[in-house]
């Protein structure tokens, strides 16, 4: 997988959980975080805050299910 594949998938899905990224690309989550870090540093991707997770406070959810990333189309975009 290359960065352009990740970019295309994020643009298509717009918002995606780490678990889905890992499954789609058959890649370790830590490797994906490194690639996502590049897009984050360029302002193209943002990691959504944990409170947008499952909505409960039990802390039993798999963190990869609530670790969400979102493609940002441009500066000042409001979602």
d(CA 79, CA 55): 19
Helix (H) or strand (E) holding 29: helix 29-41
Domain hosting residue 46, numbered range: 3-71
d(CA 11, CA 13): 6
In a domain? residue 51: yes
Which residues, in sequence order, are CB contacts of 63 under 8 Å at separation 6+? 18
First-to-last CA distance in the chain?
28
In a domain? residue 8: yes
pLDDT at residue number 79: 44
d(CA 13, CA 30): 20
pLDDT at residue number 71: 96
Q: What is the pLDDT along the chain (79 residues), one digit of tens a residue?
A: 689 999 999 999 999 999 999 999 999 999 999 999 999 999 999 999 765 445 566 666 666 567 899 999 765 444 4
pLDDT at residue number 49: 78
Check which CATH number belongs to the domain holding 7 and give it: 1.10.10
């Amino acid at each position: 997988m290359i960065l352009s594949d990740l970019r295309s998938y994020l643009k298509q899905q717009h918002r995606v959980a780490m678990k889905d990224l890992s499954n789609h690309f058959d890649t370790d989550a830590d490797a994906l975080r490194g690639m996502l870090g590049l897009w984050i540093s360029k302002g193209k991707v943002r990691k959504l805050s944990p409170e947008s997770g499952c909505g409960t406070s039990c802390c039993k959810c798999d963190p990869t299910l609530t670790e969400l990333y979102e493609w940002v189309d441009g500066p000042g975009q409001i979602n």
